[in-house]
Structure 1
């Protein structure tokens, strides 16, 4: 049985190869978010119940009725395809190593989410909250805040990506309200902790893998995400797999009109592991190029992540020491990103 080190400790994985169990998509829960928008108390209660069950039993689910315009989604995917089709030199002009706050392009194999593996077979572009260099948190050393890098002379790229980012921010606040209700808290419980969130949008391109595949070098190696939750939009190519409680890989194929959401390490810490931070991976054996857009939503840099009082009792003592959101994410980036050193000085 293989071991995988995550930010929340070591997890065990069965030696199950590269295949995922061919189960129907509805083997992963589908959560209807409409109640969080329409404000009806009774339907909100049902939403909270459904979400709590999904987070405790699976940690991985689809959401529908999310209110994100399809035109914004389509435009973002078109932008991703156009960006990654450029020559390497053009993409490297905004390489992430030129940014001290992890914004920009990264090439194939520059990320290694599973430290026991040989690098992830994807290329990426990352952006996050646009924060000026003279911002008080930036000058105080909150290294994950700062300005984004953008392709020169391509205003359409920035417009498209920022439009998608804005929709994800709105959706994330509503989804976090649903999480609060699922934890039997006031709906706005987390609001003061996410008014300047560490929220990252990532464009991903996966080349196809052919023939015999080394399980130590796949699209994205087995890992858990670092933030509170991830909202993923997939194209039509299925590659995502989630690890269920039996240690089996379950396929999470794209479903039109839906996003896939998974619980991250910080939410698992907040809930004292009541909510499951799900191990997942991606393997593109379709023979086609694959694109996806994950959005990682976490609290403010200096927000303290520690088990909620409601999730701790004599039977379930606190499993985690308090840590700030920024410190936690920095520690995970330093372990998995070849270019990342939060103590290093960069020149933009």
Structure 2
């Protein structure tokens, strides 16, 4: 299960990041620099995943139009009146679409969750035996065909980039570059369009838009707008602000890649604090393996560690169903 950190460390104010702590990695040599380029990029990624679990990725070759269209449609949707957004609202039995912000005014605490989201998942509803959790069709807002087109284009681009990143991770772990390929035939990924209100002036230091947490899957690709607010925990327990880098995605390792790597790669705590005084938009893509995958420390890496497997095997479908059930339970009061 993903880990959440709620307590004293959420009261620690983040300092501005030295970008050397979250490296900016150019992916171009991985695709066009031959074997030497692949190895150099993979090693740089592995260092970042070991040291802090985050890095910025430039040279990803995702067309700017795909990203700008997704952000434009997200803003367009969130600027609709609430009764119009409500038409695309998720329900507890069909948990895709718009999920409103739980906070409706009044006292603020560290669990207030000052954001709303539009949730899109892999759509395999045409399968002969669709799973009611993972294979539902997506819900789309009425009279906004451009919204659907932009989201689907962005989802497809992120999935393609994720497959290349998995190859870089494999090389960085000293494994064949196709080591992870077989786990992602029908990946049950998720794309979220997130809208954060600014934290009100005078709020207690422990108030954040999202409490500190780790991500469930192998990796997350985050598109940030230019407002900022992402914060990352360092190994020494302090927090750093991780601002957006123009033209770069922010990549972080999730729990499943930490498990696969037998702890070599760090699934790190992060949170959002929008203190800019204006609204913030971001679009994370959460890569997940096939539902029937069992994630466990890879035997090659366990052997290198003297036979010690540091994590128990986890069945992806079972694990994520429990995770989604918790989300739906939390959403029960406002859906």
TM-score (norm 1): 0.87
Q: Which residue of 1 aligns with 2:153?
A: 163
Q: Which residue of 2 aligns with 1:231?
A: 221
**What SS class does the counterpart of residue 144 from structure 1 fall into?**
coil
Question: What is the DSSP-based 3-state SS (H/G/I as helix, E as strand, rest coil) of the residue aligned with 1:27?
Answer: coil
Of residues 112, 118, 138 in structure 2, which corresponds to 1:125?
118
Q: Aligned pair 1:135/2:130, yes or no? A: no
1:73 aligns to what?
67
The residue that corresponds to 2:293 in the other structure is 303
Report the counterpart of residue 41 of structure 1 in structure 2. 35
Unaligned runs of 5+ in 2: 104-108
Q: Secondary structure at the match of 1:123?
A: strand
Match of 1:87 in 2: 81
Q: 1:120 to 1:340 in 2, by over 3 A?
A: closer
- Residue in structure 1 matched with residue 321 of structure 2 by the alignment: 330
Secondary structure of 1:93 counterpart? helix
Q: Which is worse superposed, 319-328 or 48-57?
A: 319-328
Give the secondary-structure state (helix, strand or coil) at the position aligned to 2:189: strand
Q: Which shifted more, 90-99 or 153-162? A: 90-99
1-structure distance, mates of 2:218, 2:168: 13
CA-to-partner distance for each residue in 1:132-191, whole Å, 9 max, x for gaps? 2x51452xx462222100012211110111111111111111111111111111111111
Deviation sequence 1:67-103 (CA, Å, 0-9, x none): 1111111111110101001111221222221553x32
Q: Secondary structure at the match of 1:189?
A: coil
Q: Is 1:204 equivalent to 2:194 in the alignment?
A: yes
Cα distance, 1:320 vs structure 2: 2.1
Deviations 1:254-313 (A, max 9, x none): 010000000001111111211100100000010011000000011111111111112214
What is the aligned counterpart of 2:98 among 73, 84, 105? 105
1:317 CA displacement: 1.7
Determine the C-alpha separation between the residues in 1 that align with 2:6 and 2:308. Answer: 22
Task: State whether structure 2 residue 216 is matched by structure 1 residue 222.
Answer: no
* Distance 1:108-1:18 versus aligned 2 partners, 3 A rule: farther
Q: Work out the CA distance in 1 between the residues paired with 2:12 and 2:71.
A: 27
Instruction: Decide which moves more: 83-92 or 30-39.
Output: 30-39
Q: Distance in 2 between matches of 1:259 and 1:92?
A: 30
Q: How far apart are the structure 1 equivalents of 2:318 and 2:205?
A: 31
**1:291 aligns with one of 249, 259, 281:** 281
Q: Does 1:177 align with 2:167?
A: yes
Q: 1-side partners of 2:101 and 2:134: how far apart?
A: 22
Offset, 1:332: 2.3
Distance in 2 of aligned mates of 1:254 and 1:174: 22
* Contact in 2 for aligned 1:58/1:276 (Cα 8 Å): yes
Distance 1:270 1:340, change over 3 A: farther
Match of 2:271 in 1: 281
Equivalent residue for 1:148?
138
CA contact (8 A) 1:14 1:248 kept: no
Tell me how far apart the structure 1 counterparts of residues 19 and 251 of structure 2 sit (CA, whole Å): 14
Q: What is the aligned residue count? A: 326
Q: SS in structure 2 opposite 1:291?
A: strand
What's the TM-score once normalised by structure 2's chain length? 0.90
Local SS of the residue matching 1:295: strand
CA contact 1:127–1:202 (8 Å) conserved in 2: yes
Root-mean-square deviation (CA, aligned residues, Å) is: 2.2
SS in structure 2 at match of 1:105: strand
Pair 11,87 (structure 1): closer, same or farther in 2 beyond 3 Å: closer
